[in-house]
C-alpha cells in the first residue's frame, strides 16, 4: 500500500508550477500551493510556465515523477497561434527543428502536430489574449515526448507563428477534460495507458 499522494490540477494562467517562494524576485507571483492544501513533499511533474495553462500532475513520489517526465509518455498541447499556420510550418514542426535552449542550439525530436478544425471550448483566459483586429489566429495540436524549456513556444516561433495561448490537454491517457481552471482532484494513481 503506497503512502504517496497524487493529484491532477488545471493550472490557471498566471501561476508558477512550484510551491515554495524562496526567491525575493518572485514575491508577487502566484504559486500552486495557493490553490489547495497539498501534503508536504508534493512536487509538480514537469512544469508549465507562468503564461501556460492546463493539465499538471503532482505527486509525492519521485519515481512516478521520473516515469511521467520520461520520453515514454506523450504530452499533448492545444496552441493558439498568431496567424493562420501553413501546412509547411506544421510539417517542419513534425520533422523536428532547431530551437535555442540556454544559449545552445537544440534539434527537437519528431513530434505530432496538426491543425484543429474545431476551436477548443476553453474558458476565456483571465488576461485577454489580444484584440481580434490584429489579424487571424489559428489553433493546432502538438504532441511531444520531450519537454525542453518553453519548447512548444520556441517551436511555433521558429516556424513564424508565435504562440498566443498554450493549454496542455493530455499526459499519457490522462485528459484535462472539463476540469475547471484552478480545480484540483486527488487520484489514487496515474493510469498512463
> Where exactly does CATH 3.30.70.580 map onto the chain?
6-70+174-187
Instruction: Note if 49 is an active site residue.
Output: yes
* Spatial separation of the C-alpha atoms in residues 62 and 59, rounded to whole Å: 7
pLDDT of residue 23: 56
Please tell me the CATH code under which domain 6-70+174-187 is placed. 3.30.70.580
pLDDT by residue, tens only, the chain of 193 residues: 458 999 999 999 999 988 775 554 556 789 998 999 999 999 999 889 999 999 999 999 999 999 898 889 999 999 999 999 999 999 999 999 999 988 899 999 999 999 999 989 888 877 777 776 788 999 999 999 998 889 999 999 999 999 999 999 999 999 999 999 999 999 988 877 6
- What pLDDT is attached to residue 171? 95
Task: Pick 75-171's CATH classification: 3.30.70.1560, 3.90.1150.10, 3.30.2310.20, 3.40.50.1010.
Answer: 3.30.70.1560
In the chain, ranges of CATH 3.30.70.1560 domains: 75-171
pLDDT at 37: 92
CB 117 within 8 A of CB 56: no
Element containing residue 66 per DSSP (H, E): helix 62-69
Per the listing, cell 519528431 goes with 110
Asked whether the beta carbons of 54 and 10 are under 8 A apart, the reply is yes
**Listed residue (33, 62, 58, 35) closest to 47, CA to CA:** 58
What single DSSP character describes residue 188? S
Is the whole-model pTM more than 0.85? yes
pLDDT of 1 reads 46
Question: Which listed residue (49, 61, 87, 131) is catalytic?
Answer: 49
Amino acid at each position: 500500500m503506497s503512502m504517496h499522494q497524487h493529484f491532477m490540477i488545471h493550472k490557471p494562467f498566471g501561476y508558477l508550477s512550484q510551491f515554495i517562494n524562496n526567491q525575493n524576485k518572485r514575491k508577487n507571483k502566484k504559486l500552486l500551493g495557493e490553490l489547495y492544501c497539498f501534503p508536504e513533499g508534493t512536487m509538480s511533474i514537469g512544469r508549465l510556465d507562468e503564461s501556460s495553462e492546463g493539465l499538471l500532475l503532482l505527486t509525492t513520489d519521485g519515481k512516478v515523477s521520473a516515469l511521467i517526465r520520461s520520453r515514454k509518455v506523450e504530452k499533448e498541447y492545444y496552441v493558439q497561434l498568431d496567424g493562420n499556420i501553413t501546412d509547411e510550418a506544421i510539417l517542419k514542426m513534425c520533422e523536428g527543428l532547431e530551437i535555442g535552449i540556454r544559449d545552445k542550439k537544440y534539434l527537437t525530436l519528431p513530434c505530432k502536430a496538426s491543425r484543429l478544425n474545431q476551436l477548443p471550448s476553453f474558458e476565456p483566459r483571465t488576461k485577454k489574449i489580444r484584440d481580434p483586429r490584429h489579424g487571424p489566429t489559428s489553433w493546432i495540436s502538438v504532441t511531444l515526448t520531450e519537454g525542453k524549456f518553453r519548447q512548444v513556444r520556441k517551436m511555433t516561433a521558429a516556424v513564424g507563428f508565435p504562440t498566443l495561448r498554450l493549454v496542455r490537454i493530455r499526459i499519457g491517457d490522462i485528459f484535462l477534460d472539463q476540469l475547471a481552471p484552478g480545480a484540483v482532484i486527488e487520484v489514487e494513481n496515474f493510469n498512463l495507458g
